[in-house]
Amino acid sequence: MGSTKTTTPSPPHLLKPLITIDASISLFLHTLFKPILPTFLFLLEYSADFCFSFPVSLSFFLVSPSFSSLAIPLLLGLLLDLALIGLIKLTFRRARPHYNPNMSPAAHADNFSFPSGHASRVLFLATLLYLIVQHNEDLVLDFIQRWIKFEPRFVMSGVWVWAVVTATSRVLLGRHFFFDVLA
């Protein structure tokens, strides 16, 4: 049996300089930070994976009737994110960075780079949590104080730090190009 290779279409002439700049910036950042990257960045790959985030979100739906109304937008958003990112990836078919052939310990669903599903997912989750807190402050703050035992603003800041670090790690680990994450 032969291996199946994914062919990527040639980018339009006007996009070639932009793609070249993107690849150069991404390789520079990956090369610069690779020797000093902390090991925990690999854990972010799992925490932002759909195979982890969807079951966790589903558990919020099942755990309590008060959370089910909050979990529905979360579940629908994750499914919409998966569908849209998959459609865009299949449309553009941009290959992942060549300088990281043994990409990750986590299984990846596709060989396409643009856009980053992990970056899209974590920023969606952080934004949705922010919006939920703004509109259902008492329920969420009660949950945070009762179960997480941290100051709610500290938890929200932590979620945003997690989202930004995860999105940034996609480039630094060589999983995606800079514009993949920016998109």
pLDDT digits (tens, 9 = 90+) for 124-155: 888 888 887 777 666 666 666 666 666 667 77
Q: Which pLDDT band, with edges at 50, 70 and 90, does 84 fall under?
A: very high
CA dihedral 105, 111, 116, 121 (to 10 degrees): -60
Rounded to a whole number, what is the distance in angstroms from the first to the last CA of the chain?
A: 37
Tell me: cis bond preceding 115? Omega within 30 of 0 counts. yes
Q: Which pLDDT band, with edges at 50, 70 and 90, does 8 fall under?
A: low
Q: Which tokens go with 111? A: 């060989």
Count Cβ atoms below 10 Å from residue 156 Cβ, excluding itself: 17
Q: Which pTM value belongs to this model? A: 0.74
Beta strands in the chain (DSSP E): none
How do the domains of the chain map onto residue ranges? Answer: 39-182
Note the pLDDT of residue 46.
73
Q: Which tokens go with 51? A: 């195979």
